[in-house]
Structure 1
């Protein structure tokens, strides 16, 4: 049974307004939830108490882990570096295939055992030598106020911030949120509105608008991920249409990751994605003009490797999350022909590798 929202710890939320009928409307994402006293939004973590909107997961996490940055996945954002990753609970989408459903669909705050202030998180990342902090596991859009405060604390210590998100957010909070982010991996879940409506309970257009905003109005480094689900979003026609849109609207330098689906949550009637489907999708996207296309959740070294788009040199050879070869200059250029590679690079000082290290942060600042 859900806890009454008045019984859980609350934090004042932004992005809402009062309606003439006595309800208040959440203006964070395109769901536009309209709430009476005591009601929660579709995300479960934002709700109404009195005449205001509150966030119930500020300072509360489902856990902290140190991961390789490639796991987000980000292949062009300080390769080999480590990232302190965490999430909260809830989600503003309703994906039937959610791979983190135990967190994103949680209706219990008992899972949120780790409490941490923004300053404590930044201190932890610095203590463990993490290049960045990632808001992940569930969509950080729904805990935007917390994520933005953590980002400020991180930037004060020269630590980068990463959002792993579906990009389902309204224009004003989008500006505020991404102004605090250095990088993002955005789930482009499919390229038809029918898929978004039937499988996620949302719509495609707001996600496309977020991607266009990131490309044309920010300096945020971003990469895309599409989870290919057999029979739902893996047709040659759809992958080709999506690839052509990316080339036209975002350019040829945006990395695209095709990831393998495994049956989970409410979508157990579909088989796992065959590796050949991902390899074919990668070829379609490369043929459409994209320069950096990757495969994920399968063992495919060619699909993990970054190639120079000019001379074809294997620049960063990966085997899962391990870097076997690194041939970029500190400025991010090909060592063979000096072509600049899109991304954020620096001095390569080794790699974090395939480790996953759980850590406790604590509430103290």
Structure 2
């Protein structure tokens, strides 16, 4: 059930300190208001905030306190999201807000995702200003990242619409723990998404992330079946917890059956962070074994991240096996696709978003090392 809130394309009915009226909530018989954005279904009394911290009850409505407030922006290569099948070599303006609806013990952006001092950490950044910055800096797209766009879905949707009005694309980087209706609106509004599939057991999800595997699987299937959004997945492999070839093989087999063999999977290395400082970094050998297991399960595109591994960064044509996109770090060194995204060797079209402008500004010069300033 969705409350009678303003459309996502307009600010909430009340502005200023009153906040932006959130969507996806309803009143309960006991007087509380239930948030229907994610499966936590936080039930709020006056003044209370949800688990994500950026949704608060104010009178007889729930407000999104993070709307139009960014904790940081940066110009990145699209490969950093990671999105390897989306206009390789192009630049993306990345931004996020405070807050998160998960509690991942290994979060590398925990200073942002667990932030409680929103006014101190954030700056005014309405959707139009973000798009203006992206256009001025020559970015091809805006990415919602750093924290999970699920918790600022209305803000992300409005920014995606503003991107499209200016001829830019919009990408989401998310854990995908979201209810059906807002999930379809959020992921349906963007052109591409990288969604974490953090492990493949409910026990791992419950103990390590505070979320539920089944809910994320449902989100992934809905994105595949009910939107035109290009989808890639990421799994962070943590030694001793979710890194066995057997578990990765089961995960990959599910992806093949539910989402398709052409769905790219990024297996990335864990580095100690936040509340998980007792685990060692993921060895490269572990990543390579996991990649082999995922390929053996039938996936066509399996990449390695957070490490330097030439083979694990290369895109091979599934038709002839030729290396058609060779990367060094985040830079595209060799690009063997034609203007329509077809392999120059055998003519097979690669799945993803490709066009005549690719690989964009890849090898020439990335301006993303300089963070934009001012709005």
Give 5+ residue unaligned stretches, structure 1: 1-6
Q: Indicate conservation of the 8 Å contact 2:195/2:232, yes or no.
A: yes
> Among residues 114, 117, 122, which one is paired with 1:105 in the alignment?
114
Q: State the partner residue of 1:226.
A: 235
> Among residues 292, 303, 310, which one is paired with 2:301 in the alignment?
292
Q: How many residues in Structure 1 have an aligned counterpart in Structure 2?
A: 356
Q: State the partner residue of 1:358.
A: 371
> Among residues 323, 332, 352, which one is paired with 1:343 in the alignment?
352
Q: Indicate conservation of the 8 Å contact 2:239/2:280, yes or no.
A: yes
1:354 to partner: Cα distance: 8.3
Deviation digits for residues 75-122 of structure 1 (CA, Å, limit 9, x no counterpart): 000000000000000000000010100100111114433211111111
> Among residues 100, 103, 114, which one is paired with 1:91 in the alignment?
100
For residues 214 and 23 of structure 1, what CA distance do their matches in structure 2 show? 31
Q: State the TM-score, normalizing by the size of structure 2.
A: 0.93
> Among residues 25, 33, 46, which one is paired with 1:37 in the alignment?
46
Instruction: Map 1:189-204 to 2 at 5 A.
Output: 189-204=198-213
Q: State the partner residue of 1:217.
A: 226
- Which has the higher mean CA deviation after the structures are superposed, 109-118 or 127-136? 109-118
Aligned-partner SS, 2:272: coil
Given the alignment of the two structures, is residue 280 of structure 1 paired with residue 289 of structure 2, yes or no?
Answer: yes
Q: Larger relative CO (CA 8 A, sep 6+): 1 or 2?
A: 1
Q: Indicate conservation of the 8 Å contact 1:121/1:361, yes or no.
A: no
For residues 329 and 361 of structure 1, what CA distance do their matches in structure 2 show? 38
Q: Alignment RMSD, CA only?
A: 1.3
For residues 17 and 239 of structure 2, what CA distance do their matches in structure 1 show? 41
For residues 18 and 114 of structure 1, what CA distance do their matches in structure 2 show? 31
Q: State the partner residue of 2:83.
A: 74
Aligned-partner SS, 2:234: strand
Q: State the partner residue of 1:183.
A: 192
Following TM superposition, where does structure 1 have runs of at least 4 consecutive aligned residues deviating by more than 6 angstroms?
A: none
For residues 113 and 213 of structure 1, what CA distance do their matches in structure 2 show? 32
For residues 275 and 218 of structure 1, what CA distance do their matches in structure 2 show? 35
Q: Indicate conservation of the 8 Å contact 1:65/1:357, yes or no.
A: yes
Residue 325 to residue 353, structure 1, CA distance change in 2 (3 Å): farther
Q: Indicate conservation of the 8 Å contact 1:85/1:134, yes or no.
A: yes
Deviation digits for residues 168-203 of structure 1 (CA, Å, limit 9, x no counterpart): 000111121122110000010000010010001110
Q: Indicate conservation of the 8 Å contact 1:114/1:361, yes or no.
A: no
Q: State the partner residue of 1:4.
A: none
Q: Indicate conservation of the 8 Å contact 2:184/2:226, yes or no.
A: no
Q: State the TM-score, normalizing by the size of structure 1.
A: 0.95
Give 5+ residue unaligned stretches, structure 2: 1-15
Q: State the partner residue of 1:321.
A: 330
